Structure 1
Amino acid sequence: MIISHLTRVGMVTLIALVLRQYYCHCQTGLEAQSFSSADCSLITMKSSCNCTYDVGYESAKIDCRSADERTDIRISIYEKSAVDITCRYTGASYVVIAEELLARLPRLGSIRKADFLDIHECMPFTAILARMALTQSEILHIDGLSKLTRLTAQSFGHNTSYLHSVVDLELSVQPAIAQAAQRLNADLFTVFPNLRTLKIDLNVTKLDAGIFTPLAATLNDFTFYGRLREFPSAALSPLRQLSMLFLMRHQFGDRLREDDLASLSLLEQLTLNSCNITKLPARIFASLPALRQLKLNRNELRVLPPSLFVAQMHLQSLDLGDNQLETLSRTLFHHATKLTSLALYHNRLTMLSAQMLPPLNALVGLRLDNNLLHTIAADSFADAKQLQFLELHNNRLNWSSAESCDLLAGMSSLMALGLQNNTLQHLCDQSIAPNYTTSKLYTLDLRYNKFTHLSASLLRTLNSSKLPKQLYLSHNPWMCDCGAQTFHNFVKSNRERMPDIMELRCADMQLAPLIELSYNDICLPDLGVNARFVLGLISLSALSLMLIITALCYYKYKLQLQVWLYAHQLCLCCISEAELDRERKYDAFISYAHQDEHFVEHELLPGLEQGTPAFKVCIHARDWLAGAFITEQIIDSVEDSRRTIIVLSESFIASHWARMEFRMAHQSALNEGRSRIILVIYGDLVNIELLDQELRAYLKMNTYLKWGEPWFWEKLRYAMPHPTRVWTRSARVRQADEIPLHDFPPSA
C-alpha cells in the first residue's frame, strides 16, 4: 500500500515536472521575439553602446558612435519587437559603416524577427542587420533616400538574403526632399521574391520596362509617388496580379492612352490623384471590369467622355472631387448601377438633374459641396431610397419651401444633410415630420445662410420630434422681435440639440447670444400713450446723471485726466507738458555708471546747469541721501524728474544699478504714454550683445545722441523740457535755430 502510494506520488511529481518544463519552454518561445529591460542593461554593460529602456512604453534606445565620431547609429525598439535604425553622417553622402562600429553593434536581446523594421539613411544596411542577428522581417520601410540618384539591389548591401522574407516594402526620400532626378535599376526588386505590397515615394521621372518583372507573380498593392510625365504602362504590364494601384503627384496632362491599363484587368482599386490630368480617353477604363474603387480627384478635368465608365458595372466608390467639371453627360453613370459613394466636391457645376446622376438605387453618400450650384431639379433625388449622407454646402442654393419639399421627398434614409454657406431663406415645413420621408435625419446644418425666421409649423414639428439630434442654426440674420417668441422658446428648450448654441445670435450682432437673452430683451412691453414721455424722461435723467458724474470725475481726477489727454495728443490747446510736470523738482535725472563720473560732473552737468537756459539736474553722487535704500532713491529720482538722461557706455552695460535706473525710467514713460528718456552714447560700445533685451529694443526703435558729434548740445537742450516763461527775442531766435533730434540720424 505504501509502495503503491509512493509510486502514485512519484508519478504525479514526474508529470508536474514535465508540465513545468513544457510551460517554461513555451514561455521562452513566446518571449523569444521581445526585448526587455534586462537585455538593455546587458548591452550597456557588455558593449560601448548606451542603452536606455522606457518601462512605461516598453521601448528602448541604443546609441552607438564610431571611433572617429563621424557616424552615429541609433537603434530604437518599440512595442518589444518593432525596430527603427537611424544613421547620421557628418558628410553630405552615404558612407560604408566602419568595421569597428559594426563590430561594436549589439545583438538585440532575444529578437530575431522584427515585426516592423524602419531604416533611416543607412545605406547599405544588410551588414547592420547581420551583426545584430536580425534574420527576417515582413515589413520593411527605408526612408531618407534623397542622396541616392540611382537605386540598385546592391544599394541595400551584399547580404541580401535577409530581404527575401519582406512582403511589405516602402522606399521614400522622406524626411529630406530629393532635388535631383532618381533612377531605379532593373535589378532593384530581384532581391524581394515575396513582395506583395510596394510603396515608392522618390523623385523618379521614368520607370524602365521590365523593372517589376521579378514581382509579377506576387505584387498585389502598388503605391507610387513621383514625377512621371508618361503613364508607365510598359513597366506595369507584367503586374497582372495587381489589384490595387495608387499613382500620385505625377504630370500626365493629356498624354494618357486608351491601352495604358489594358494589362491590369484584375484591378479593384485605382487612384490617379494630383496627376495634373486634363483629358481622359473614352475607353481607358474599358479593360477594368472588376474595378470597385476609383479616385480621380485633384486633377484638371473639365469634361468626361460619356462612355468613360461603360465597363464599370461593379464600381462602388467614385471620387471626382477637386477638378474643373462644369457639367456631366446624361449617360456618364448609366452602367454604374452599384455605385454607393459619389464625390463631386470642389468643381464648377451650376445645375443638377436626375439625368446627370447615377442610378440612385444603391447610392449611400453624395458630395456636391463647393460647387456653383444654384438649381437642383425637383426630381433629382426622387429614387434615392438608400441615400444617407448628402453634402450641398458652399454653393449658391436659394429655394422656396415648396421646392425644398419636392427635393427632399424621395430620401427616406437620409441621416445627414449639409446646407451651410448657401443663400437659403426657406426650408420644407414637413422635412422633420415623423411621417415624412426624411424622418430619420440625424444632422441638419443650416449655418451661414439667409434665414431670418423658421415657420411656426416647422418649429412645432421640431419640438415634437427627437430628431435631428444635431441642428446647426448659427450665422444667420435671425430677426429678434416680438414675433420671434416661438423661435426663442424653441432655442431655450433645445439647447442640447444645438452644438453651435453659443454662436446663435440675432441679426443685431451687438446683442448677446440668443440663449442668454430673455424675451423682454428682444420685445419691449407696450408702454401705451405715455411711451414717448416716459422714454424722453428716461433719456433726460440719464443725460443729467452722466453730466454730474463727468463733473465730479473731472474735479477729483483733474491731473490724471490732463496726463491722459497729453499722452494721447488730445485737446492740446487746453493742456501743456509744463502743467503736467509742475510738481516735479528736477528738469532731468542723469543715470550713469560710477566709472563715467568724471565725464558727467565735468562735462555733462556743467553744460546743462550753466548753459542757456539753465536746467536743474539730479545726480546720485550729489543729490541722493546717504543711508537711504538705493532702489527707493532710483524710483524717487525718476518720478521727480521731467527727463531721465541715460549715459550709455561699456561701464553702464556692466552696471546692475544703472540698468535698473533705465528700466524704472522706461516703465514710467510707458505708463504715461510719452517719451521721457534721452539716450547719450559715451564712447564706443563693443559688447553691444550684452545689452538687456529691453534696452537693445529701445536703442533700435528710438533716436539717440552721441557725445562729440556735431550739434550735440543743441539737440540735447531741444530734447530737454522747454521753459514756460516768455522768452526774449534772442532766445526765440536761438530756439528757431535749433533742429529736432529726428533730423539728425545717429552716426554709425
Structure 2
Amino acid sequence: ISNLPSLKNLIIKDCFAELPKDLITECEALITLDLSQNRITGIPEGFFKDLKNLEHLDLSFNKISTLKSGVFSPVKKLKYLNLDRNHLEVLPEFLFAGLRKLTEVSINHNLLTTIDALAFQGATSLQTISLIGNRLTLKSKDQLDWDYMDMGMYSPFNTLSELKKLDLSHNNISKIFDDWRFVLVNLEILDLSWNRFEELYPNSCQFLSNKITVNLQHNDISSVNLYQPAAQSDTTAPVAEPNSSILLDNNPLNCDCRMYNLAMRLQGLKPTTTEPKFNVGNAQCKSPPHLQGDLFKNLSPYDLYCEEMTEEVRFNCTSVLIRPAYRDLYYDCDFAPPFFPNTEQYGVEQLSLKLQYPPNDLSNLTLSLLNLTNIGLQEIPFSPSESVKEIDLSKNNLTEIPIRFIESNTSLYLSSNPFDCSCFARDSVIALRGSSNIKDLDTVSCANGLSISELEISTLCHSNTLIIAEIGGIFLFLLILFTLAFIFSRQIVDHFGHRIFPCCFIDDPDNSPKEYDVFISYAHKDQKYVNKLLPKLENDFKLTVCVHYRDWEVGDFIPDQINRSVLNSRKTIILLSNSFLDSTFANLEFRTAHNLALKEGRERVILIILEDVSKHEKLSEELKYHMKMNTYLNWDDSRFDEKLRRRTIPQLYNKKKFVRPAILKPIFKQATENNLKKALDVHLNSAGQLVNLAQNKKDIENV
C-alpha cells in the first residue's frame, strides 16, 4: 500500500496481528485510517512518520497492550483517535504531545489502571475524552493516602481547559479532583456513574463551570454533607436557579441528620455558596430501618435525625436525638440526666428535654425546651427559672392558671388543660390573655370548653341573684319547650324547632366549616397507601385533605402541628398497620383525634385496617377500646370506596341537631323506658375486657 501519495481513505480489517513498519510509507495525503477489528498487538516505531495530514485514526478492537511515548507525535493534524476494546494498562507520559488539533479521544473498555500526569500534555484542543469501563482510580503513587480535605489534588486532565465532556463511568474512582472544579471551566458533562464514591463533602460539590452535569448515579454514596442553606430572609442568597446539576439516583442513602441540608435544598432553600442543583430522582433510603425503602424526595426535613448511642451521653434515657430541623439535641427520659454534653459538638444550638416525671427544681437545667406534655400533671411542682426558656405543659390536668410562669416571661404551651375560669380566677384569666408568651393561646380553653381568648371577662362575675334568676328562667323556658316536644311528634320539633327556638339546636359538628375535611395519619412505611388514597379523596370525593409532608409548616413544633391538623379537620383517617403502632408520632395523632372525639361526643376518627395488628405488642388499650366500640374499614373490602364515601362526605341535609337537656329526662321517661332498660355504661377493665356497669346500678335513670 506504500507509495500511494494520492490515497486519502484506507480501511483494513481482519488482516494481520503485526503491522508492517512500511505499510503506509509515503502516503502523505491519507486523511482517514481505519485499522479496527484486527489482532494488532503494538505500533511499530515510526509507523506514522509520513501521515502528516491524518485526521481520523481508528485502532479499536485490537490487542494493543502498550503504547510508547510520542508514538502519535507525527500526526500533527489528528482530530479523532479511537483505541476502544484493546488491552492497554498504562497511558505513558507525552503520549499525545504535539497533537494540538486533537478534539476527541476514546479509550473505552481497556485494562487501564494508570494515566501518567503528563500523558495529555500538549493536546490543548481536546473537547471529549471517553474512558468508560477501565480500572482507573486516577491517583498517583503519592496520592494513595489522599484525604478529602487535601487541597491541590489534580487529575491528568488538568491542562485541558477546552474539555467539555469527560466520561469516566464504570471505573474505580472515589474522589472529585480539584482541576475538575476549578480549572476545567468549560466542562459540561462529567460522568462518574458506576464508580466507588461513598460520601460527598461540601467542597466537592462546587464547580466554576456554570453549566456542568455531574453524573454520580449508581455509586455507593450514603451521605451528602452540604453547607447550611441560607435563611429564607437572607437577601444575599443567590436568586437565579443554577444551570448545572448533580445526579444522585440509585445510591444507598443513609437518611439521617447528615442529609438534612440536602433535604432543605429540595425544599427550595438556596445555598450560601455557588453549587449545582441536586437531582435525587428515585433514590431510596437504605437506612435507618424505619425509613428503609422510602424515596428521599418524599421525606420531610423533620424526618432526618441521628440517634446518639454513646452510653455516657444517653444516661439510660429512652433516646437522644440530634435534630437539625429543630436545631437541638433532644433527650427523652423518665428523669432529668445529671448533666448534658456541649451541643456545639453535635452541630446544633439548643438542648430539649422530654420527661415522664417533672423535676422539682429547674435551677440546674439550661434548656431551650422542657417538654412535660401528657403526663397527667395536676399542679406544677417547680418554680420558674431563667435557664429554661420554654415549657410545654399541654395535654395535662392543670386547673389553676400558672400565673407565676406568666409573670416570669417564660414561654408556655398550655392547650388541652381544664383551667378554672370562675370569678375567683378572673385576674389570672386577664393576665393569661394579656401575655405574649403563651404560644398556643388560641387553643387554650376553660374546663367548660370555652376558648379563653374569646371569653367575655364581664360574664365571669355575675351576682348570685342574677345567676339564680337566669337559671330559673332557663329552666322554665326549657320546661315549656320540651313539654311541647313531648306532646307533638319529634319530627315536627326537628323540622321547625331550630327556627322557633334556635338556642335549643346546635349545628351538626360534621357540617361545621373546617379548613380541611380530612387529616390522614399514617406511618412513613405506608406511604404507598396514601398515594392511592389521596387522589380518591381529593379528586373523586372533592374533599380538602391535610397530609403532613405537604401541609405542615417547616420549623413548627410537631405536637402543635398534630393538634392543629386534628382540630382543623372534620375527620381524621387512621391507616392502622404494624408500622403505625411502631411510630411515636402516629400514635400521638391517634390519641389527639380520639381524645377530641370523646370530648365532643361525636365521630371524628375513621379507622382503616391495612393488616392484622391484633398481636402487636404496642397495640394500646385506647386503640383496642376504639376498635371494639366503633366500626372500621378494611383496606381490601370490596365496598371500600362506597363505605369511605359515606364516612367522609358531610351529609348536608342534616345541618341541625336537637339537644335535649339532661334535667328534663323525667318528662321523657315513659317514652324512652324500653331504651333505658337496655342502656349501657361500658368500661374497659384492666384485663382488656368490656364491662357493662349499668347492670350493677340501682337507679337506671342515672345511666
- The TM-score with structure 2 as length reference comes to 0.39
Q: Who wins on radius of gyration, i.e. which is larger?
A: 1
Q: Going by fraction, where is helix more abundant, 1 or 2?
A: 1
